[in-house]
């Protein structure tokens, strides 16, 4: 299952050549691997970026690293849509670690929830299985990402696959959303994401709930 074609590792930030290449993109798929689910406690370990031609770059982030100028410039570039699966988490990580607000955003999990109302399975694995017909190996999901300069091939391969299908998923989900007349609602949801990120980073929980 290991497919490391069109894959590279850039320590700490993109190199200039890859940055310039990604800067020309309309869309980039992005994912992160971290030590856990709480940005203030669990540091960012790896960022994966993939363009429409399928070039995946894995960027190990050193402990204590607070800047990645090329990467963050792409995250803030208004001309490039950043595609995440569950953007709320990755965008919070970027805001906490690098102090940048990522936008514009497309979240395949929100898109799936709005388009695929016939199922409650909105995880990346289920989505890739149904829309791409590919079985994702998620066995490295809960592994130790902290040893950033010495990640295993299995971990890197897993990390690359987490971004490899997002651009194609977005196209298929946009088609479904268009058909169901929910595309505009999806975009309005994406525009709310910075608010949810701020609430999450300030430890507010469920403030839209009645209770």
Residues binding Mn ion (CB under 5 A): 31, 162
Q: Which C-beta is closer to Mn ion: that of 144 or that of 184?
A: 144
How far apart are CB 168 and Mn ion at their closest, in Å? 17
Q: Which C-beta is closer to Mn ion: that of 23 or that of 123?
A: 123
DSSP for 45-99, please give it: EEEEEE-TT--EEEEE--TT----HHHHHHHH-TTSEEEESSHHHHHHHHHHHH-
* Cβ(176)–Cβ(116) below 8 Å: yes
Alpha-carbon distance of 155 to 144, in angstroms, equals 9
How far apart are CB 161 and Mn ion at their closest, in Å? 9
How far apart are CB 179 and Mn ion at their closest, in Å? 29
Q: Closest residue to Mn ion, Cβ-based?
A: 162
How far apart are CB 163 and Mn ion at their closest, in Å? 8
Q: Which C-beta is closer to Mn ion: that of 37 or that of 185?
A: 37
Q: Which C-beta is closer to Mn ion: that of 51 or that of 162?
A: 162
* Cβ(22)–Cβ(79) below 8 Å: no
């Amino acid at each position: 299952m290991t497919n490391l074609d069109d894959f590279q590792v850039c320590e700490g930030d993109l190199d200039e050549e890859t940055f310039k290449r990604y800067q020309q993109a309309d869309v980039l798929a992005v994912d992160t691997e971290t030590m856990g689910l709480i940005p203030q406690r669990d540091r960012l370990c790896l960022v994966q970026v993939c363009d429409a031609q399928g070039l995946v770059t894995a960027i190990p982030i050193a402990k204590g690293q607070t800047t990645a100028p090329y990467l963050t410039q792409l995250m803030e570039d208004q001309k490039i849509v950043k595609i995440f699966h569950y953007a709320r988490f990755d965008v919070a990580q970027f805001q906490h670690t690098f102090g940048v607000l990522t936008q514009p955003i497309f979240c395949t999990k929100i898109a799936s929830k709005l388009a695929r109302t016939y199922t409650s399975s909105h995880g990346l694995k289920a989505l890739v299985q149904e829309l791409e017909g590919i079985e994702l190996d998620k066995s490295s999901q809960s592994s130790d990402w902290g040893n950033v300069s010495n990640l295993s091939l299995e971990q890197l391969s897993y990390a690359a696959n987490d971004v490899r299908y997002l651009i194609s998923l977005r196209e298929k989900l946009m088609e479904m959303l268009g058909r169901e007349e929910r595309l505009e609602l999806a975009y309005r949801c994406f525009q709310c994401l910075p608010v949810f990120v701020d609430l999450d980073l300030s430890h507010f929980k469920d403030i839209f709930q009645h209770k």
